[in-house]
Every structure is written in structure tokens, then in C-alpha cells.
Structure 1
Amino acid sequence: MPLDPFVAKIKTPLDSKPPRFRLPKLSPKAVKLLIAVASAIMIISMVSFAIFSYLSTNKEFSKDHGLTANDQEALQEEAKKSDAANPGGNVEQGKGGTSGTNPPVVTLTADPASVVTGGKSRLKWSVTNNPKECIASDDWSGARAASGEEDTPALTTVQTYLFTLTCKTDTGTGFATVGVGSMSRTVTGNAARAPIVTIAPTDSWVYTGSSTQIIWSTTSSPTSCTASGDWSGTKSGDGSISTGSLTQTRNYTYTLKCSNAAGSSSATTTVEARTPPADIPIVTIAATPPGPIVPGASTTLSWSVSNAPTSCVASGDWSGAKAASGSQVMAGLSTIKTYLFTLTCSNAAGGTFDTAALQVIPNPPDVSITVSPSPIYTRATSTISWSSTNNPTSCTATGAWSGAKTASGSLNTGTMNSAGNYLYELQCSNQGGTSAKRSTTLVVSLPPKPVVNLSASPISVTIGGSSNLTWSTTNTPLSCNASGDWSGAKAASGSVSTGGLGTIRTYNYTLDCNNDGGTGSASTSVTVSNGTSSNPPAVSITASPTTIATGAASTLTWSATNAPTSCTSSGSWSGSQSANGSASTGAIGTAGTYTYTLTCTNSSGSGSGSATVTVVTPPAISISVSPSSITTGGSATVSWSVANSPTSCTAGGNWSGSKAASGSQSTGAVSPAGTYVYSLSCSNAGGTTSNSTNLTVSDPAPVYCGGLTPCYGPTDLAAHSTIGNCWGWNTTWVVNITSFRPTHKGGIKSGSTSTLENTSATCNHSINTILRGTASIPGYQDSGGATTHAHGSATINNSASSLLLGYRVGYYDATKP
């Protein structure tokens, strides 16, 4: 086997000696220094890699620094349409025809009608009248059975792929052709936030002289969309538009590029125009709007047929004989399905059929979810309540709950035994797609620990005497236990006698009570003496902690020597106390300095001691965002001020970093839609407090008619559908036909049964095919006897010199509700 030429070139002859390389000589000290430097570089690299690896897993860091490679997480904040509801996501119905007698009728479909390059579509077909043979042609080939289904190959080129099936009997021939569009898509910038463009035609192929609709949609609220290829100009983020008459036999290309602050994407689709067969009628039918539409909405079917058909029959989801051209409003389409409106026309030479497929599908659901009450303490319960719109077929809970849920309802959380923030998420789906994931948070915190009060009366007795212990607690302790000179479990409040105390000493009694928030304690003592003392009491009293926040408590601890017979508190507390003990101050709600004095007395005199507690008000935070609601891509200003001299303030949520005690800051451009939380936590000696404000970001309202006004849609035109109040539309213009009729230069021939105002052809109908001369107004002839007339390009294309300019009353957008 010969050597690879490149390998042969670098072979070293066996008798040659390789060159010798010498490293410079280094001293031992230099070698040690070199090793130390290399080790330091390796350590720094490993630490940097570890830090970056950790940060890159942090969602906020990844989002802020463009490290999110998977856009699914970002897009889950938005409602998602189902694949079927996107342009090109429905089933493509084949066009076809027949010739001869009793011919086979071929039905051929492709699902989906459009794929991203590299994808596949599923072809299904069936044939009537027992054909002898069926042959595939165009972008597939070979013999096929009279019924079947198969996947297309991977469609790797941006074009319209055509699949034709021709079947024959002894007396006739039938065929159908279905097209599948292969759409390319590119994304630049931050893939998680850049717009995603989807574009497809309602018919991936047509006969020359016909037209179709281009439909597109986008995500992530683009700020601009520009068309190129066989269309041009600025487009809205979602819409549809007629291609106009496609007069050349070729592939027409339609590209749309949309951008926002995060990046841009573009998508390209094609429509193939083919030369129609000679002599036989050519049927063209379309729905306006082309769909998808929501249940209960309506559409207008418009059709025209060339080559003088002798009969036209509707089938599928409509029926009956039809004229060679016309339009019909299909109202009340409430079933969620794809409606098929097929028109078959024939003459002596044969026949063809075309189908307008209209998908009726609801908008994705929207979900609302709350939890109340919140916050709560541990061992309490709360209730989750939720509702949804657009009749979801399924709802799934995630986060702190799980499983399938109904479309609306309420659910008790059960007893919450652990403190924390519990996130309850809900997402609902229907045939139209999946809602944004909505959530609510239940804050569960630990309760304040119990405050225990314990006293003895009297606090000093002679040998053999007894005292009475009395106690009470707050904050619902779970248990209380006695220690010292008594023991056992105790109720949350009560009293008990010490019994006779027979030893001269101090008896100590402690009570500890606990709940989930901690343990509270109190102590008291009873001094037993022989009844005499030569010195007055010496009192010691302390407070811990000495500085607290408003609403908090400190613990007082004291002791008195020399067998006091009584101890009395004064200053910021009052009442009789034991000679030794501890007690909580209780929650103190007002800032200031509080002094606690204890005076104890015996037969020799009295002694006193004092402790002070400083109460500091924690920071009080005021924070707001203005405006509180914006559309995606907009910005707002966060303003805040903090009282009570904070020593530090830190931002959290959707902003970060240290902040001054007061100020304002722009949010910058905010996208995608959702609720953004701006929180601020500030601290001083009194503690830390937090507050937050919410910014609601919504997708902008749809722009119809490219922003031109007045803008009319199908519902508006329906109010002008009668003789004397007759409006129609030519692509993007709405024309007052009632006003135009008296000035029409063509006039009207005597005996005509209709004027230009015709409820089945012009009033509340597209008049474009009539202006092109490819359709007529039933019953109308101009003064020369002609039923059709091709108007000039200025009129057909709505140019400034159009004959209709003076009768334009506004602009038309089929997608406007």
C-alpha cells in the first residue's frame, strides 16, 4: 500500500541523525523559582475555572452574561402556541383533478405543511374507484398502493417540495399534488431572548396567475421586522398578507428578519408557481382570515375558476352547487378541528379541485394562582387558589406541589412543619398551546419563642416554711419542663406550692418552654433562713442583649444576697420579684432606653441594682417603581428611601449590589414579559428589614394595518355588507363601493341584474380578483357587455394614481379582531 504523500514527506531517513536541542543551564535556585511560578499559575487557573463553573450554573449570572445556551428556560415565561397553531403547522391538503369517465379521485395530504430544513413530513393518500395503477412523481417516485402513508425524505433545501400521485382506471385518470415548504431559520445574539420567526404560506404551491397568503409569527416581542426576497418593507411581529398574483413559473422566496435588543433571527419560506393544465377548469379557493382562528369566529371563502366550468360542487365542511366565482362567509366555526372546504369544478375536458383548510384552535390558556394567608408560622396551614382561561385540557402543578390539577380550584396546603419559601407553580395546556408558568410563594417562618414569667411568693421564708410558684407563657409553647429544685412537665400556665423547705439555703426554680421558634426560660428562687441577717441585701441585675430592635425582647437576670424578705421592681417593670431569677422584658415596640431597677429589703435595710436596654428601630424602607407596568423592551425607574440611619443596603431580585440610603435607578430595557421583583434589604443596630416592588412587563398590543388608521378587520367589514352600505377591500385598502359605483367609468349594461354593489361578490368581499379581471360580479355587465375587465396596475396594486384612491375609507387587516 503506498504511503500517504504527506506522511511520506515527513518521514526521517533511517541513516540520518536528528538535530540535537539543548536547554539552557539553570541554577538550582532558578529551577525552584520556575517551579514555584508554574505552580502558582496552575493554582490560579484551577481556582478561576472552579469559580466560573459555579457562577455559570447560577441562573441570574448566566442570564446577565449571555451564558444561557438553552432558551427553553427563558421562553417558559411566555405562553407557547402548539406546533399546530404556528404558521405551517397544520395539514396541507393536495390540489388535484380528473379526466375521462368515472375517474379515480385522489386525496393526498402532508402533515405538517411546513418543516424547518432537515425535517420530514408525513404523506397520506387514498384513491376511489379501484385504480389499476398509481404512480408517484415530482419529489418522490415509483408505484404506490391505492392507499397508504409514508414519511418524506429529509427536506434539506429551502424550497417547495412537490409530491404528485397519478392514478388510472380503464376509463379515467385522477391526480393530486401536495406541497411541503422547507423553511430555514437563523438566530444571532442571545438565543434565549432574541425573537424566533416562523413563516409559511397557506398554499405551498399554486398555479400561475393565482395567489396565496404568507403567514408569520414571532416570539420575544421584536422591535422591528423587515421583509426581503419576493416581498419587502416593514412588517408587524405577527400577520398575514397576500402574495398577489404569481405570474411566473418558479419558486417565490419570502424572508422575514426580526430583531430586538437581545438579537435577531430570520426565516425563509417559498411558494412554487406551476403552469396549469390546458383546457380543464383551474380552481383557486382561499379563506380570509386564513387561520388559525379561535372557536366561534368566522372566515370568508373566496374562489375563482378558469376555463368555463360547467359545474362546481362544494364538499367537505360545506356543500352544494357553486358559481364559477364568488365568496361565502362561514360563521360559527366552534368545533376545534381543521375545517376542509373543497371545491371541485369540471367541464368537458375534465376537472380539478382545491381545498381551503382552516384550523380552528383556541388561544393558549392563561393562569392565575394565589396563596392565602401568607406569611404564616410553622404548624399552620394556608390555601392555594387558582383559575385559568380558554378551557384548558390539562393543568400540571410543579414546585412545592405536583400532579394534575383541574382548570380552577382551591387546595389546603396541610400543616407546614418547616420554615421556608414554598413555590407553587401551575401551567395549563389546551389544543392551542401551553400557558406561561405562573407561580405564587408561601412564606413559612418560625414563630417567636415563648416568653415565660415565673415568680415565687414569698421569696424568703424561715426554715420549714413554704412559697407558692406561679407562671404563665406566651406564643403557644409546645412543651414546658421544670428544673432546679422542681422537675417534670408543666402546663403553659399554673401555680404550685414548694412544700415545706427544711434547709437553710436558696432554692432555685427554672421553667423552660419551647416551640419551633426556640426556647424561652424564666427562673425564680426562694431563700430559707433562720430569720436573722446582719447586712442589707446586695442586688445584681443584668440584661442580655443590651441592644435590641423594636418588637424584640431582652432577658433580665438578677440575684440578691443576705436573705431579702421582699424584692420590688421599678422603672420599666413593676411588681414583686424573687431574690434570684430571670424574666423576659417582653416585646418592646417603641425605640428608646429602658431602665429596669430591682430593690430588695430585709430587716437590716435595702439594696438596689439596675440594668438598661437600648431599643433601636430597624430601617424603614420605601421602594417603588414607576411606571409599574410597561411593555417588553421598555424601562422603568426604581426609587427608594430608607429611614432610621441604615448602615448598609443590598439589592436583590432583579437587581443587585450595594445601594445608598436613598436614590433612583433605571431598570434598563426589560424583556421578556413577566413580573420583575426589585427588593432592598437594609440593616442597622436594630436589625435588618426588607421591602420590594414589582414591575409588570407585558407584550405590546398587536399593531394592525402596519399602524395605519383607520384600520378595519372582518368584523368591521361585516357591518358594511348590504346594498347602499357596501364596502369591500383590495389587499390592504378598504373601498366604499357604494360611493364609487355612480362614478365607475365602465357603466352598466341595460338588463344587468346586479350593479357593482353585490352582496355575494363585492360587499364585505375582496375585490382584487375582480380588478384583475380573473373574476366577475354575478349578474353584472359593463356598458360594453363585458363581465370582466383587467384594471391598470396602479388600481390593482393600490398605487397613488389608483382610481379607487378617492373612495378609500381606511385600511384592511384580516387578522384584526
Structure 2
Amino acid sequence: MTVGVSAPTVTISASPTSVAYNGSSTLTWSSTNATSCTASGDWSGAKAISGTQSTGALTASKTYTLTCTGPGGISAPASATVIVGAQPPIVSIFASPSSIDYNQNSIITWESTYATSCTATGDWSGAKAIGGPHSQSTGNLTSSKTYVLTCTGAGGNTSNSTTVTVGAPVMFGTLIPESNSCVIASGNNSCNINFSWSITNPEGATTAITANEMTDVNLSGSSGNQSLPVPYLSSPRIFYLYNNAKSLVPTSESPNGSGVTVTSDCVSGTSWNGSICIVFSPTATLTASPRTIVIGSSSVLTWSSTNTTSCTGTGFDTGGATSDNATVSPLSTTTYSIVCTGPGGQAIDQATVTVTTADNVPIFKED
């Protein structure tokens, strides 16, 4: 040691000396009779003979040592220790899926470390398991919900949250006919079918029933009954229930909202004339084959009719049939007649079977 030259000294301090997990402290040092200083312990490298320096974020306790050198030799080491608190809990929480349709559910999953207890707040509540991962269903939701989880440990409290976004209510409707067909009365061109309808969660203000070749029928309220015309058509009429320009699913028969199909026809005994259902006049035809027979032989009477419901024969039995044939064996020339009846009245026709002798002489019934 050089006589008359003082040995170097160094002091170092930390402020604060205790920090929370991931916190920082400031080191301050100074020296005398020193020309250089060197760090050791939990820091390193050459340091100025005086100064300050942040520790940076700390996750464990650290000790910072400084030794300085000068003409008088080497100083005794000086140290400062920064005590770091316990790590706070780590909390993760998420919802899957995070966006759902109205009245559907999501699964909340959470996990924690460095925690001794966890508590749910927000749109759920109560104590929750630590560690994990753990899962819980939200149940069916009709509005968006936020789930908050706060976990406590030696390092304090940590909170995290997740939100489930719920879509708008799903619009749904039904359209149900009392019958899938109706009968058009004579003189008319359509018949009516009563429909019951309902709508849930409408998106627009106007609900309407529409069909091919029909003016829309606007409805009010959320349900009701509506009598709708079904004209005589070559193809069925399809009815739709609409709201906000969307066709709604009306019945189990129409799972894609493709409409309700109904049909119509003219009442029995009438036919479509292009404008209305009308009663057509009946027709009847009676023929004999052969028309001339030798006594002891037979002839076949054949009849047919249109727009009739029954036929009655004179001199032979029709059994009420509107078309058929019957065998007759008259002993003399006979005129047969048929009367066919329908909604439009009666039609009459005749056929004569001429009976001759073997030498072709006609035989007539004596008066």
C-alpha cells in the first residue's frame, strides 16, 4: 500500500428494498478514492465510480455487490439486497364458442396457478376450483354475458374475464291449414281454407301470407286465423308466411320454409269450364249389336254416359251402372231405352233389336 494514499470506499443502497413480484428498484452507489468499480452478485460489469441504475422487473430477490479500486488499493465489497414478493396468481379464462346463437350455450374454461382460492363474479358467482383446467356450461343464453374470475394467492389477487356474445333472437313462424284441400261449389271459381298462423321474435313490423297468383294478406299481432282463397288451378297453390322479406318455416312438412301446399277441385257433378265450376248436361248412348237377330238368338246392349251418377234401363237391368253392357233375347222386335241421371238432369237414348223368323220375316209383338 502506498503511504499517504487512502484506501477506496464504496456504498450502495436500493430503493425500495422490497418490491412486488415483477416490480423494480433503483440502485444508488458512490465511492471515495476510487478510479473504477466492478459489479458482482446479481449484476456484473464495470460501473461508474458513482451512479444509479434500475434493477429492471424482478421475479426473485436479488443481491447487488460493488467493489471499487483506487491508488490506495481495493475497497471492501458493498452490497444491497432487493426482496421480491411472492408471484401473484396467473388466471386464464375463455369461452368456447365466444359467439353463439340466441338460446344456445357456451363452455367456460378456466385455469389458475399460484392461487389458493378463486371466486366468480359478473354473470356467474361462487367459489371456483383452483388449478385446472376446469369447465362449466353457461346454460342456454338469451343475452350476452361476462364471466369474471378472481384468484387469490400469496402474491395477491388476479382477475381475468371472458364474454359470450349472444345473437339476436331467432325468428320463427308457423302456418297450418285446417285442411289440405277444399271443394269449389257450382258457379264459383274458388273455395276457402282457414289457416292458423303464429310468429315469434319478428324481425320486421309487417307479417304477411302470400301465394302464387294472390295479393299478399298483411297480418297484425303475433298469431291468429285467416281464411284464404284457393282458386281452381292446374297446379296446387302454395302459401308462404313472410316477415322482413324472409320465408318462415311453417310446419314439419316444410322444414326449409318452402311453403304449405293446398289443392282445390270442383264439387262432384261439376266441371271447370275455364272460368267457374259448372254442371254439364248429361249424355247417354245405347246401342244394340247385332241390331237384327233370328228368334231364339241374342243381342248385346251397350251403354255409356257422361256427367251422370246412375243409369236405369227399360227392358233390361243396368244395375245402376253409368256404362256397361247386357245381353237380351227378345221374342219379338223390341225397343230398349236407357235413362241416365246426373246433377245436370237426365239423358235418354234408345236402341231397337229387330227379331225375324228363320226366313227373315220380322216378328212384332201383338197389341
TM bucket normalised to smaller = 0.3 to 0.5
Write 1 or 2 for the structure with the bigger share of strand: 2
* Bigger Rg, which one: 2
TM-score normalised according to structure 1 size: 0.23
Q: Which has the higher contact order (CA 8 A, sep 6+)?
A: 2
The structure with more helix, counted as a fraction of residues: 1
User: Could you tell me the TM-score, scaled by structure 2's length?
Assistant: 0.45
